[in-house]
A and B are shown apart, each in its own frame.
Chain A
Amino acid sequence: MSLFDDLQSEWQGQKGPEIPELGTREVRGRLKYLKREARTTSWILGATVLGVIGFFSYLQAFSSGVVVLAMGLMTGSLLVRIALELYGRRRLRRMDPTLPTAAFQERLFGYYRHRRWVHLVLTPVVLVLYGLGFAMLLPDFKASLSPGFYTYILVSGAVFALGLFWLIASQVRREFRLLHYLRPAPDDAEAA
């Protein structure tokens, strides 16, 4: 018996947990949950878009054009970022898992390469537009709010921006690592 055969028999002899008794029921339950979640997400998004439209109709009647534009930039950029994220997840979910693994890996690599464009071009644009909208609102805030509340808005705005930046940065870092990991090796091309 070679050392690798020995290793192979150890690998196959690993003691794992019993096969889950309710495993198939859990699988079907999870699938129902995923479908429900997708439906709920669509409803929430629809309601959010309607809410935003209503809010802007109200705002247009009582506020200046600058405020409407600023709020539009902020909410619009966030909605675009969320839509891109949902589109990305949907695309990933719809990749055919029955493909030969080399072809699937190639598609997955293509997906992360496309995401790199989202992260390096679209996301900075979204962040700049959001920041611009926020900055445009500041003079109005300063004129109409108490100094304490104005400071609170400045600080909470900065904290929110930092949080958002951190969240996006960690996602970008993870996806770049995956992109690097999935890149075709020199022997992948010659082996097919």
Chain B
Amino acid sequence: MPESEAFESIYREHYPRVRRICLGYAGGNANWAQDMAQEVFIRVWQNLDAFRGESKLSTWIFRIAVNTCLVELRNARRGMKTVGLEGVPVPAPEESDPGKREHPDRIASLYRAIDGLRPTNRTIALLELEGVPQQEIASITGLSHAAVRTRVHRIKNELLKLLKDESL
């Protein structure tokens, strides 16, 4: 079994990003994403002893996060579509960075757009939004770097088009 302190630090460092990835799979439903994130860290704990350091720890955790989310989709209450946007966490005006423009509706639309993507593209979209380098996305997904690069370009255009269509 892994050391508790080591696990605590891994949990604290990776929880926010893992939870956002889970949100992307839960169509923005905060409660469901929280359950998914807990399931992810259960698997991290179970497998931590087997981590050999052949990739970055974050790469390894993102793999577990995405794979767990794919399994957890079976618990979606209303099929593959967004399970309700009432839980979408949008930046609170008084707490967010004043330099950033806020578009809460756009985040909700983004969840809907991500919901419509095929599994691999959904994974790539979420990791790209997280700012994960494309080389690392390739390692997480098992696709070639060139394939990831091409897809990122296509997915970005697809997402932007969907968002534009929604705002019309």
Contacts and interface: CB of A to CB of B under 8 A. Distances in A.
B67 interface: yes
A190 B123 CA distance: 17
A100 B138 CA distance: 9
B26 interface: no
B152 to A, nearest CB: 10
B86 interface: no
A104 interface: yes
Chief secondary structure at chain A's binding surface: helix
A120 interface: no
Interface in A62-82: none
Contact of B151 (A6, A8, A187): A187
Interface residues of B, number: 71
Interface residues of A, number: 48
A100 B128 contact: no
A192 B102 CA distance: 37
Nearest to B51: A98
A89 B19 CA distance: 24
A182 interface: yes
Contacts of A99: 63, 67, 142
A191 interface: yes
B38 A26 contact: yes
B4 to A, nearest CB: 7
Contacts of B71: 92, 95, 97, 108
Contacts of B79: 174, 177
Interface stretch (A9-17, A36-44, A128-136): A9-17
Given A15-B90, A16-B19, A31-B45, A10 B11 contact: no
B135 interface: no
Interface string B89-112: 111100111001111001100100
B120 A185 contact: yes
B141 A97 contact: no
A27 to B, nearest CB: 5
A13 B90 CA distance: 8
Interface string A170-186: 00001101100110010
A137 B106 CA distance: 62
Interface of B: 4, 7-8, 11-12, 15-16, 19-20, 23, 30, 34, 38, 41-43, 45-47, 50-51, 60, 63-64, 66-68, 70-71, 73-74, 76, 79-80, 89-92, 95-97, 100-103, 106-107, 110, 118-121, 123, 128-131, 139-144, 147-148, 150-151, 156, 159-160, 163
